[in-house]
Amino acid sequence: MDRVLPKKFWTSQRIAFAVGGLVLSSLLIYSFILADHRSKLNVEKDKITISTVSSGPFEEFIAVTGVVQPLKTIRLDAIAGGYVTEKLVEGGAMVREGDVLLRLENQNLRLSFLQSETEANRLVNELQNTRQRLRVERYALRRTLNDLDFQIAQAKDVWERQEKLFREKVIPQQDYIKAKLDYERLVEQRKIEIESQKYQEENAQTQIKQLEKTLAQTQKNVALWQQTLNNLVVKAPVSGQLSTMDVEVGSNINQGQNIGQIDDLDGFKMRVGIDEHYISRIFAGLQGSFDFNGDQHRLQISRVYPEVRNGRFEVDMIFANGAPKGIKRGQSSPIRLELGKAAQATLLPVGGFFSDTGGNWVYVVEESGKRATKRSITLGRKNPEFFEVLEGVRPGEQVITSSYENFGDNEVLEF
């Protein structure tokens, strides 16, 4: 006898529909919620540079180039102009103080010297003649006074005798008066001679003083002309190396023209060019270092030249412990110029990524090492080797530091 079988709910058809719906729901959930929709780009790992973020002291410094120069350089400027008749030393030679380097000739200077010397000789002769004339006039006065004194004595004697005879009424009054007048005339004549000689002597003394003053000034001029002539022989003012001598025999040199320089080889310094961007942070006393013959040597800024030319300014740096042995003038060397004290920081190696991102984000490699994802970061200071990382990555993480030029706007790089 047939039985009525109960009707099953989970039929094959319903099971198939349920499984299909579950699969479709899972796909939809994965697609809209769990799936990674970020843009991706496949890259070859061996063609990029991956650097590890580290923690350590951040040294703020810039890399500059210094050129070795003598600690002191003496310019040779022509004190007197003229044409070169003899060149005794060539550039590059060692010279001692007082060595003759050049001989010049200037006919105008020699003519002026001779004229000044002639004028001085004329004044000497005139001064001697004036003094001689004064001496002669003094002798003449003495002779004249001597004669007058004799005549006065005689006239006085006659007058006194005539006076006595007149009182005795032996001679007439006219003879007495004549004797008296003769005596008084001679006395007055003596006074006049003395006053005249006094005037002549005062006048001569005035002339002598004027001549002496003029002669002294003329002799100074002669000495100056002589010194100028002596300057036609150019001598080394100090001992050292004659680094340049830009003149040749027959060339004309103007007064004040630079004709060379002497380097004092007792010490050296480094002349360093720096970008004008750092001019507000550079001052005397900043430290630096450079490598020479396998050793590191310390430097210190001694002078800052504020003039900016072609976007750069210069400083002088001296050797803190003396110049290294074997260093030569004109050698150049890279220098680490420190701008501040070292401080602990998170360090990211410098790379080409910065020009593409401005330091606002980087690609950070995931722990699996199979891909790198874009991440925002904040950078601080920079030196030629590292960026100071303020936030975004931690020490130990790996970052792509080569150029991002070919990565476009993709958020994930797959290796």
Q: Under a CB-based contact definition with an 8 Å cutoff, are residues 352 and 303 in contact? A: no
Which domain-ending residue is among 205, 229, 253?
229
pLDDT of residue 315: 94
Confidence of residue 317 (pLDDT cuts 50, 70, 90): very high
Question: Is the domain of 286 the same as that of 357?
Answer: no
Question: Is the domain of 133 the same as that of 225?
Answer: yes
Is the pLDDT at 271 greater than 90? The verdict is yes
Question: Is the domain of 215 the same as that of 286?
Answer: no
Confidence of residue 203 (pLDDT cuts 50, 70, 90): confident
Torsion of CA 179, 184, 187, 193, to 10 degrees: -110
Question: Does residue 248 sit within a domain?
Answer: no
Amino acid at 407: F
Burial classification of residue 193, based on how many CB atoms lie within 10 Å of its CB (0-12 exposed, 13-18 middle, 19 or more buried): middle
Kindly report the CATH number assigned to the domain that includes residue 379. Answer: 2.40.420.20
Stretch 324-334: mean pLDDT: 86
171-177 own/partner pairs: CB under 8 Å, 24+ apart? none
pLDDT of residue 361: 92
Question: Does residue 112 sit within a domain?
Answer: yes
Which domain-ending residue is among 321, 338, 355?
338
**How far lies 44's CA from each of 306, 351, 406, in Å?**
49, 18, 12
pLDDT of residue 28: 60
Question: Is the domain of 224 the same as that of 116?
Answer: yes
pLDDT of residue 201: 77
Stretch 168-180: mean pLDDT: 82
d(C-alpha 77, C-alpha 230), whole Å: 15
Question: Does residue 93 sit within a domain?
Answer: no
Which 3 state secondary structure label does DSSP give 106? coil
Question: Does residue 330 sit within a domain?
Answer: yes
Largest separation between any pair of C-alpha atoms in the chain: 233
Question: Does residue 213 sit within a domain?
Answer: yes
- Domain count of the fold of the chain: 3
Stretch 55-76: mean pLDDT: 86
Which domain-ending residue is among 338, 356, 388?
338
Instruction: Say how many C-beta atoms besides its own lie within 10 A of residue 239's C-beta.
Output: 15
pLDDT of residue 17: 65
Stretch 255-262: mean pLDDT: 82
Kindly report the CATH number assigned to the domain that includes residue 171. Answer: 1.10.287.1490
Question: Is the domain of 401 the same as that of 323?
Answer: no
Question: Is the domain of 115 the same as that of 190?
Answer: yes
Question: Is the domain of 269 the same as that of 367?
Answer: no
pLDDT of residue 36: 56
Question: Is the domain of 119 the same as that of 162?
Answer: yes
Which 3 state secondary structure label does DSSP give 241? strand
pLDDT of residue 27: 63
Domain that holds residue 180: 108-229
Question: Is the domain of 139 the same as that of 211?
Answer: yes
Kindly report the CATH number assigned to the domain that includes residue 299. Answer: 2.40.30.170
Question: Does residue 7 sit within a domain?
Answer: no
Question: In whole numbers, what is the pLDDT of the chain averaged over residues?
Answer: 83
Instruction: Write out pLDDT tens, residues 1-44.
Output: 455 555 555 566 666 666 666 766 666 665 555 545 568 888 88
Q: DSSP string of 311-357? A: TEEEEEEEETT-PPTT--TT-EEEEEEE-S--EEEEEEE--THHHHH
Question: Is the domain of 127 the same as that of 204?
Answer: yes
Question: Does residue 316 sit within a domain?
Answer: yes
d(C-alpha 302, C-alpha 408), whole Å: 49
Distance from the Cα of residue 160 to its chain's centroid: 96
**How far lies 69's CA from each of 66, 315, 335, in Å?**
9, 12, 15
